[in-house]
A and B are shown apart, each in its own frame.
Chain A
Amino acid sequence: MSAALLSLTIPLATAMLLLLFRTRAGTVVIVANTASLVAAMLALDAVMTGAREQLSLGNWDAPLGIRFELGPLTAVLLVFTALIHLLVTIYAQASRHSKTRDTDFWPLSCLLHASLAALWLSRDLFNWYITLELLGLTAVAMIIISGPRSHLPALRYLLLSLAASLCYLLGVAFLYGRYGVLDIRMLAEVVVDDPGTRLAMLLLTLGLMLKAALWPLHQWLPAAHAAAPTAVSALLSALVVKGPLFILWMVWSTLAEPGFARQAGVLFAFAGIAALVSGGWAALRTPWLKVLVAYSTVAQLGYALLALGLLLYWQDPEMSIALWLFVLAHGLAKVSMFLGAGEMQATLGSRRVSALKGASQTMPLAMFAFAVAGGSLIGLPPSGGFIAKWVLLQPLLVEPSHWPWALGVLLGTLASAGYVFRVVTIAFNRADPSSPGHDPDTAAQWLAMLPALIVWAMALLSEPLILWFQEVGL
Chain B
Amino acid sequence: MSHISLYLLGGVALWVLGLHALMTQRNALRRIMAVNVMGSGTFMVMVALAARMTPIDPVLQALVVTGLVVAASATAFALRLATTESPVADVDRERE
Among B39, B41, B70, B78, which residue has the most Cβ atoms of chain A within 10 A? B70
Q: A163 to B74, alpha carbons, bound, how many Å? A: 11
List residues of chain B with CB within 8 A of the CB of A180: 57
Q: With A350-B94, A352-B95 in contact, is A176–B87 under 8 Å at CB?
A: no
B35 with A148: CB separation less than 8 A: no
Question: Does A16 have its Cβ within 8 Å of any Cβ on chain B?
Answer: no
How far does the alpha carbon of A120 sit from the alpha carbon of B15 in the complex, in Å? Answer: 29
The CA of A130 and the CA of B92, in the complex, are separated in Å by: 37
Question: Which residues of A have CB within 8 Å of B84?
Answer: 148, 151
Q: Is the CB of B94 within 8 A of A351?
A: yes
Interface 1/0 per residue, A121-149 and B, CB below 8 Å: 00000100110010001001100100011
Q: How far is the CA of A351 from the CA of B32 in the complex (A)?
A: 31
Docked pose: A435 CA to B32 CA in angstroms: 45
Is A152 within 8 A of B90, CB to CB?
A: yes
> In this assembly, does B73 line the interface, its C-beta being within 8 Å of a C-beta of chain A?
yes
Q: Which 3 A-B pairs have the closest CB atoms?
A: A177-B49, A155-B81, A173-B46
Binary contact readout A340-364 vs B (1 if CB under 8 angstroms, 0 otherwise): 0000000001111001000000000
Interface residues of B (CB under 8 A from A): 12, 15, 18-19, 22, 28, 31-32, 35, 38-39, 41-42, 45-46, 49, 52, 57, 59-60, 63, 66-67, 70-71, 73-74, 77-78, 81-82, 84-87, 90, 92, 94-95
| Chain A 272-293 interface mask (CB, 8 Å, partner B; 1/0) | 0000000000000000100000
Cβ contact of A169, chosen from B67, B86, B90, cutoff 8 A: B67
What is the number of residues of chain A that contact chain B, defined by CB distance less than 8 Å? Answer: 38
Can you name 9 A-B pairs with beta carbons within 8 Å?
A126-B66, A137-B77, A144-B81, A148-B87, A151-B86, A152-B86, A159-B35, A162-B35, A163-B35
Is A155 a contact partner of B60 (Cβ separation < 8 A)? no
Q: Smallest Cβ distance from A64 to chain B, in angstroms?
A: 6
Contact residues in A for B66 (Cβ distance below 8 Å): 126, 130
Would you call A140 and B77 a contact (CB within 8 A)? yes
Residue of B nearest to A157 (CB): B81
Residues of B within 8 A of A473 (CB): none
- Beyond the given pairs A133-B70, A166-B38, 11 more chain A to chain B contacts, judged by CB atoms under 8 angstroms and listed by A's residue number, are A126-B63, A148-B87, A149-B87, A158-B74, A159-B35, A163-B35, A166-B15, A167-B19, A176-B60, A180-B57, A349-B94
Does A381 sit within 8 A of B, measured CB to CB?
no
The distance from the CB of A212 to the nearest CB of chain B, in whole angstroms, is 19
Report the nearest B residue to A171, measured CB to CB.
B42
A residues in contact with B78, CB < 8 Å: 155, 158-159, 162
Asked if B77 contacts A170 (CB within 8 A), the reply is no
Determine if A63 is an interface residue (Cβ-Cβ < 8 Å): yes
- Contact call B81/A151, Cβ cutoff below 8 A: yes
Q: Does A154 contact B (CB under 8 A)?
A: yes
**Contact A155-B82, Cβ < 8 Å, known A163-B19, A173-B45, A350-B95:** yes
